[in-house]
Structure 1
Amino acid sequence: MKNVFNAADVAELTVRINALTSTTLPQWGKMSVDQMLAHVNVAYEMVYDNRHPKPSWLMRFALKTFVKEKVVGPTPYAKNSPTAPVFRMTGVKEFAREQQRLLAFLERVQADGTRTFEGKESPSFGPLTAAEWNVLFSKHLDHHLTQFGV
């Protein structure tokens, strides 16, 4: 698994992201490449943009109890795994804009470093370690880049 806090690993992820084109087709799943990029950006929006409502205390409890380990644990995601409603994308997205946003988010996470993320609160899971944040970002991104063959 790549380390989103490591410049060399972020450079490798950047190469993969830049290999995508607006016509890249998925190897599985229903999302188009522009939707996938917008989908992946949601995790970073939750950290940096505060655009998405925080789940209720009951939903947070359920997410921490039943979902957290799947998201921040080492086991890769299965193909066609279900996703939370906030991550579901419909309609056409602007490919170049979403691609550039993702690259900027990756650069920002890497620049902010582990100190910023150690103990940082996730809207869904509560405080996470920097290692858990890395898994959350890296595993999700790798899953979808692999989905699109890069």
Structure 2
Amino acid sequence: MMKSIFDTVTRDELIQRIHTIHADTKTLWGKMNAFQMARHCTYWNEMILGRLSVKRMFLGRLFGKIALKGVLKNDAPLTKNTPTSPELIITEKSGNFELQKKEWIDTIKEYEHLTTIDLIHPFFGTMTKEQIGWFVYKHTDHHLRQFGA
């Protein structure tokens, strides 16, 4: 069974892993530092939660549904260096990491009370609540693994 952000135990596990990352934690792959990753994940969750609008990608319109099935076919982690929407690329190199981490955790906690989601993902398109639950877990897990957490 795949893990879902809508499961309390899974959310708590992710939050515990987030707490192990610090401003000076080094990435195992990719170009982001810990601050950039935490801000990216906060913005990404805000997109999922419907507070941040991100433009639909042309390639996603063509291949999004097929790609989503591939990503969610099993519980394998997302691959390293998975591309993201240009709007979710964080160029700021530094900021208040502890505040950013708190904001990220706060967005994770919001999934506990989320009953409906009206999301059109910029690449995958329309997703069910079940698919969103699995994908939010996979996305968060991906970035935690990126920083060894």
TM range (shorter): 0.7 to 0.9
Q: What is the aligned residue count?
A: 145
Q: CA deviation at 1:12?
A: 1.0
- Does 2:103 match 1:105? no
Q: CA deviation at 1:62?
A: 2.9
Q: Retained in 2: the 8 A contact 1:43–1:137?
A: no
Could you tell me the TM-score, scaled by structure 1's length?
0.81
Alignment identity in percent? Answer: 28
**Structure 2 CA distance, aligned partners of 1:80 and 1:108?**
27
**Structure 2 CA distance, aligned partners of 1:93 and 1:69?**
36
SS at 1:136 equivalent = helix
**What is residue 116 of structure 1 aligned with on the other side?**
116
Can you give the 5+ residue segments of structure 2 that lack an aligned partner in the other structure? Answer: none
Over the aligned positions, Cα root-mean-square deviation in angstroms equals: 2.3
* Alignment deviations for residues 89-121 of structure 1 (CA, whole Å, 9 cap, x no partner): 212243122211111111101222xx424xx32
* Alignment deviations for residues 45-95 of structure 1 (CA, whole Å, 9 cap, x no partner): 213353334327x56523535643355553432212222212222122431
Q: Which protein is richer in helix relative to its size?
A: 1
Query: Closer, same or farther in 2 for the Cα pair 1:73/1:140, shift >3 Å?
Result: farther
Counterpart amino acid of 2:41?
A: V
After the TM superposition, which parts of structure 1 deviate over 6 Å for at least 4 consecutive aligned residues?
none
**What is residue 145 of structure 2 aligned with on the other side?**
146
Can you give the 5+ residue segments of structure 1 that lack an aligned partner in the other structure? Answer: none
